[in-house]
Amino acid sequence: MRGPGAWPGVVHAGLFEREPGGELRLGAQRGEPALDLARVLGRGERLLGSPLRAVFPGLVAAAADAVVLLDVVAKAGDPSMAAALRAHGVDCVLALPVPGSSAGEPRGALCLSFKAAPPFTHEEFALLLELAELAGIGLRLADLQGERAGMLARIAQLSTIDALTGVANRRHGESLLEAEVKRARRYGLPLAVIAFDIDRFSEVNARFGHPVGDLALRAVAEATQKMLRGSDILVRAGDEEFIVIAPHASAADGLKVAEKLRGAIAATVIPGVDGVTVSLGVAALGEQESADSLAVRVNAALARAKRAGRNGVELALQ
């Protein structure tokens, strides 16, 4: 399971599971290390008998098969529970029922604790519901295989991956870039970033259709992954835009990699398409530069590559 920064404002996540006999248990939790939901609830097993079964969102969602949002923990009406949660920086709890094999019989609940009630967009809330559904599928598979360990980690991981290409999504990529910039500055290590997008991709979609465009995106991602080192990170940053985070790489290293990527992608055979090319920008981290500044410079280099006629590589200006 990802750490607290994986979803904005989340400090803790817990997975409640129904056991074969119908009882409820705390199956897994991760996040704020000092926050133990078993201590907050007074037990980790037989939770349907907990005094908080009617007020704690995770227990209510699992029992009632309903989404429960406690936007301010004090509203639950249990001062000791509210105090225990607030002591660990939690003032909002969202619980989503994990679907079971039969309608109306939840397998448990996915419980997310936030610093404060977040302004969920429709898309973000839909994603959380999908994660709860995936949790249900995972738990059923775990029952068959006898493997419960790591299920919550797998669910959380899915929210960091771009579903079409299988690479890191933009949200996760921004976090990874920030972490790599901090590490590079702390230890005085070089760091290069490559931004590229597929040339005239809108024409590919218009001429051949979106299914072929999706195939092209997957092919570009696969061709790129084959050219990268194990330490490099590929991110889908937009519709047809990708970013490569290359630790321990200088500007010269980045230019070499970018040129190899340009050639490899141009040579990639994509069924239904005459072929695609990419324009690339390269930037190396400055001594006191932030992740945001680095991103601005590499995207400016990418824009220059496109203005220069596309299918080329440009180095960012300092």
Active-site option among 240, 241, 259, 289: 240
CA angle 80, 27, 11 (to 5 degrees): 55
Task: Assess whether 19 carries a catalytic annotation.
Answer: no
- Does residue 10 contact residue 3 with C-beta atoms inside 8 Å? no
Handedness of CA 127, 15, 8, 66 (dihedral sign): positive
Distance CA 63, CA 38 (A): 17
Find out whether 297 and 240 touch, Cβ atoms under 8 Å. no
- Alpha-carbon distances, residue 117 vs 55, 93, 114, 123, 134 (angstroms): 17, 8, 7, 16, 24
Q: Regarding beta strands 92-98 and 278-284, do their DSSP bridges make them parallel or antiparallel, or are they unpaired?
A: unpaired
Q: Residue 175 burial by CB count (10 A; 0-12/13-18/19+): exposed, middle or buried?
A: middle
Distance CA 155, CA 147 (A): 14
Measured in whole angstroms, the distance separating CA 237 from the mean position of its chain's CA atoms is 12
Give the span between the Cα atoms of 189 and 182, in whole angstroms.
10
255 phi/psi in degrees, rounded to 5 = -65, -40
Tell me which amino acid residue 306 is: K
Residue 3 DSSP SS3:
coil
Active-site residue numbers? 240
